[in-house]
Amino acid sequence: MNRQIQTDRNKANLESEGRSSRPSVVARNKQNQLAKRTFFIITLLPMILISAITLVLAIRSWPILSTYSPKDLFLGSTWRPDNGLFGFWPYITGTFWVTIVGILLSVPPCLLTALYLSEYSRSFTRSIAKPILDLLAAIPPVVYGVWGLLAIVPLVEDVLAPLSKRWLSFIPIFKVNQPTGFSIIAGGIVLAVMIAPLIISVVYEILRTVPDDLRHASLAVGATQWQTIRQIVIPRVVPGMVAAVVLAASRALGETMAVLMVVGNVAQVPKSIFDAAYPVPALIANNYGDMMSIPLYDAALLCAALILLIVILIFNILSTLVLQRMLGKNWA
Amino acid sequence: MDTHIRVRNLNAFYGKQQALKDVNIEIPKRQVTVIMGPSGCGKSTLLKTLNRFLELTDDTRISGEVLVDEQDIYASEVDVTEVRKRVGLLAQRPSPLPMSIYENVVYGMQIHQMHRDRTSYKQAVRHYLEIAGLWDEVSKRLHDPATSLSIGQQQRLCLARGLAVEPEIILGDEPTSALDPISAQNVEQRLLDLKEQYTIVIVTHTLRQAKRLADYVIYMYLGEVVEAGPAHEVFNNPQHQRTRAYLEGQF
Amino acid sequence: MMKKRWQRRHIVEAFVKGLMLVSFLIMAGGLGAIIWTIVANGLPALTWAMVTQIPQGGFYLGKGGGVLNAILGSLYLAGGGTLLALVFSLPIALYLETYLGDSEWGRYVRLSLDVLWGIPTIVYGVFGFIIMLAIGLRASLLAGIVVLSLVELPIMVRAMDEVIRRMPVDLEQAALALGSTKLEVAVRVVTRQMLPGIITAILLAFGRGIGDAASVLFTAGYTDRIPTSLMQPTASLPLAVFFQLGTPYPVVQQRGYASALILTIIVLIISISSRWISANLNKYTVK
């Protein structure tokens, strides 16, 4: 109640000098309270939005979930909407393959880069790395798709596939079964570049949370930097690194445009990384126009979207919780 | 005087700022040398040049030589990790490694693969914990995390850890300033005991501690060495006005 | 005695360091490679007509015209979306810092913002589409703007939050000590201090919004005309690129590359401007 005393005193002082008191503290406090309440409601928006999106998708996919058993839907391999056949399996596996390839290609170099930036590089190097990473992150997905079309698909077709055909065709997942470069590996490469800035910057932040004192303690007894990193720094941040990878995976799962342009969009259960595939986001994007004309088609597509969303939400929430805890105030 | 470390024409820079100006000193073997001076005079910087820790900070440069037993530790063919093995550092804030007490002491020894088998490692760990005056307190809980120790115990653990790699020189960067008075006294006593076998160089900002510990004194001001010599000479009969001012100011 | 010995651990370190350097160079070179590919393929077809005309008849078969409809459409969409997002983002971000700080509730809100940021834009697009149909709205500039604002909201709030969190506490305390209410502190002091950072956040969100295809795919429609009202459908650059590349005519595909180049240039300009702003407008801010 100090405010009230001060208010009265202020008012008394001003009035004794013959001046009228300005917008009183009382009125300003009322303004404060009103704003506080309005703002509070506004901060509910994010949570409301998440629930709304999930709910709407769930409701609209209900028709197909109630018509077919989950087993037929998810494990079925035939997708012929006009015949009432909705088998998600090729799309699920397609999504899975592209994402895994993207993660496998991206994580090792990104971890190494983040380690390099955090443990070895001079501040000059870091100061040019940051803009590069920011720019890479700002490039629109469709531009990545164009790059993929122009540079990566030919690379796969003319270089990687022949090489694999020559040397690796005894390994099933490397077999080349089609002539074009529109394939999972192309999608994986493009995805890898797209998620790289995220992985690098998150892992870098995590590494920065390890206090220098610990590094110095190890170096002071004559350890090399790599020994210090391997034995002291990395063990401390393993959960964070895992969370970063999971977060990147959740981003890769949802990437639509760039992957769509290079992955071939052939609905088959992939047998090799050189096969074309049809990830779920691409399925949704390509068929929106036909959605309304065939019964249950829209429900099916929305069901696919729902599954995707739920997986992404789980990955996202888990990894964000871990990272928020690790990075605390620095989570940005 | 038997010189262990000789510093010749040493200049050190943080970016454009010069932190050490033309330092020429000798540090005697098996004595306690204290580097003292007001805040910001460059004592920590000087200390860090002795085990090549300065280069861990970005954008630092040195010119000149630091000779340990007449070998320049900054020569290009020298292995910096070997330098740090020979010249140990006890930091201001105890920094136990995130491992058990046993593992902390063993860490350095394993890095350099200094022993053959488990038993000799165990014996070495015991030996160094005893020297650090910590054995009795931890012998029954060697595998507890090092962070479960009190801060004074942690500092002694760091001492044991540093000694375990068999250095010749021990550097201390205000090693007791983060400790409570009793632990501080304990650590000081350890250092005094150790001077029989090791050359000790300590940075301190308290004149009282300097007087307690020093056999040899180096007084610094604004990046320069003002005066250096045996403790009783510098404390009782300082040659320079600056030194005198510092000594008197402390009272 | 201290000579370098090629001990195993030193060899391992050298090897790892080499790998790291290579990875770093790949990343740095990757950006160059991408931009180079876009420029090399898009520049030849980047004519004045491309930027100043809308598609004439038969544009997608190779005849004349340009992508002005898409350029303006994207600017309208992203502009509107960013403005709308700003209206909600700024209060949320201010509230987060001024009232919530590090409280439990604040953490939930931040978590939900991060989750929102992770939701793929295609889901936003589908969601928007459903709502649009439900309320009888057709594919239009308005629908696109609303969906984009949803997409941009988490990005903007997060970026602002990052900036606001860095604010020196003393500044807030000083203002409060002078007798301001928390609202006044929020509006007058925090906003002024944070202005460069807020502008950067806005630009960042705008850049993401203008580049996104999946969210406007269903909601903004597509047309060869420049929209004159919020209720009309509108073209967008990402979709223009996509459609042009989807035709079998090389001439049209070339124009697709040029459109991609235009989009890239816009995004680069925004990115560089926001760097410039954060570097130079920090004159009045307290560090």
- Write out A127-181 in H/E/C secondary structure: HHHHHHHHHHHHCCHHHHHHHHHHHHHHHHHHHHHHHHHHHCCCCHHHCCCCCCC
Q: pTM for this one?
A: 0.88
Q: What is the mean pLDDT of residues A33-60?
A: 84
Strand bridging mode A85-86 / A79-80: antiparallel
Please tell me the predicted confidence (pLDDT) of residue A18: 47
The answer on pLDDT for A38 being more than 90 is no
Residue B222 lies in a domain: yes
> Taking CB atoms and an 8 Å cutoff, what residues of chain A touch C112?
46-47, 50
Q: Report the mean per-residue pLDDT for chain A.
A: 86
User: Which range of residues forms the domain containing residue B175?
Assistant: 3-96+167-249
From C200, C140, C133, select the one nearest C166 (Cα to Cα). C200
B133 in a domain, yes or no?
A: no
pLDDT band for A19, please (50, 70, 90 cuts). very low
pLDDT over 70 at A289, yes or no: no
Least confident of A58-62, A220-224, B39-43, C172-176: C172-176
Q: What is the pLDDT of residues A176-229, one digit of tens each?
A: 888 889 999 999 999 999 999 999 999 999 999 999 999 999 999 999 999 999
- Per-residue pLDDT at B115 exceeds 90: no
For chain C, the domain total comes to 1
Q: Is B239 part of any domain?
A: yes
Q: Are strands B71-72 and B17-28 parallel, antiparallel or unpaired?
A: unpaired
In a domain, residue C57? The reply is no
Q: What is the CATH number of the domain that holds C107?
A: 1.10.3720.10
Tell me how many domains chain B contains: 1
Sheet containing B169-173: order of strands: B87-90, B169-173, B199-204, B32-36, B216-221, B224-230
State the pLDDT confidence band at C186, using cuts at 50, 70 and 90: low
Give a yes or no: residue C21 inside a domain. no
> Of A203, A184, A201, A183, which Cα lies nearest the Cα of A136?
A201
Please state the domain count of chain A.
2
In a domain, C81, yes or no: yes
Q: Does C2 lie at the interface with B, CB-CB under 8 angstroms?
A: yes
Instruction: Determine, yes or no, domain membership for B130.
Output: no
pLDDT attached to residue C55: 83
List, in sequence order, the alpha helices (H) in C5-98.
Answer: 8-42, 48-52, 68-95
All partners of chain C with 3 or more CB pairs under 8 angstroms = A, B
Q: Do A151 and A224 belong together in one domain?
A: yes
Helix (H) or strand (E) holding A60: helix A25-67
> Measured between CB atoms, which of A134, A141, A255 is closest to C211?
A141
Are residues A298 and A240 located together in one domain of the fold? yes
Q: Are residues A95 and A243 in the same domain?
A: yes
CATH of the domain at B185: 3.40.50.300
A20 pLDDT band, cuts 50/70/90, is very low
Residue ranges of C 9-68 with Cβ closer than 8 A to chain B: 9-10
What are the pLDDT digits (tens) for B27-80? Answer: 999 999 999 988 888 899 999 999 999 999 988 999 999 999 989 999 888 999
Q: Is A28 in Cβ contact with C109 (below 8 Å)? A: no
Check CB contact under 8 Å for C24 and A117.
yes
Q: Which of A139-143, B156-160, C178-182 has the lowest mean pLDDT?
A: C178-182
If asked whether residues A125 and A34 sit together in one domain, one would say no
Q: Check residue C269 and give its pLDDT.
A: 94
- CB contacts < 8 A, B to C, total 19
Q: Are B65 and B8 in contact (CB under 8 A)?
A: yes
The per-residue pLDDT of chain C, averaged, comes to 85
Domain membership flag for residue C20: no
Let me know if residue C34 belongs to a domain: no
Report, in this order, helix, strand and coil percent for chain A, each rounded to 5: 80, 0, 20
| Residue A182 and residue A252 share a domain | yes
Domain membership flag for residue A62: no
| Per-residue confidence band for C62, with pLDDT thresholds at 50, 70 and 90 | confident
> B143-179, pLDDT tens digit by residue?
999 999 999 999 999 999 999 999 999 999 999 999 9
Locate all alpha helices (DSSP H) within A168-233, ordered by sequence: 184-208, 212-220, 225-228
The DSSP call for residue B87 is E
pLDDT tens-digit map of A79-91: 877 777 788 889 9
Of B112, B200, B121, B125, the residue nearest B157 (C-alpha): B125
Please give the residue range of the domain that contains residue C215. Answer: 71-280
Chain B residues within an 8 Å CB radius of C9:
111
DSSP E strands, B29-139: 32-36, 60-68, 71-72, 87-90
Give first-to-last CA distance, chain A, whole Å: 38
**Element at B229 (helix H, strand E):** strand B224-230
Q: Is residue B110 part of a domain?
A: no
Let me know: does A138 contact A201? Beta carbons within 8 Å: no
- Tokens of residue C222, six digits: 């597509």
The answer to whether position C103 is within a domain reads yes
Chain B residues with CB-CB distance to A216 below 8 A = 53, 56, 89, 91, 95
Task: Give the range of the structural domain holding residue A6, as residue numbers without chain letter.
Answer: 2-51
Asked if residue B57 belongs to a domain, the reply is yes
Is the pLDDT score of C16 beyond 60? yes
- Among the listed residues C213, C209, C207, the one whose alpha carbon sits nearest the alpha carbon of residue C125: C213
Q: pLDDT class for C10, splitting at 50, 70, 90? A: confident
Looking at the complex, report in whole angstroms how far the Cα of residue B241 sits from the nearest Cα belonging to chain A.
Answer: 37
Residue A7: pLDDT band (50, 70, 90) is: low
User: Which range (A61-65, C82-86, C93-97, C262-266) has the least confidence?
Assistant: C93-97
Q: Got the DSSP string for C127-145?
A: HHHHHHHHTTPPS-HHHHH
- Give chain A's radius of gyration (CA, Å): 27
Residue A128: which CATH number? 1.10.3720.10
Same domain, A12 and A138: no
Q: What is the pLDDT of residues C111-156, one digit of tens each?
A: 899 999 999 999 999 899 889 888 888 889 999 999 999 999 999 9
Q: Which of C154, C183, C208 sits opposite A35 (nearest CB)?
A: C183
ipTM for the predicted complex comes to 0.91
Q: Are residues A45 and A78 in the same domain?
A: no
C233 Cβ neighbours under 8 A, 6+ residues apart: C138, C139, C140, C141, C220, C221, C222, C223, C227
**Is any Cβ of chain C less than 8 angstroms from the Cβ of B112?**
no
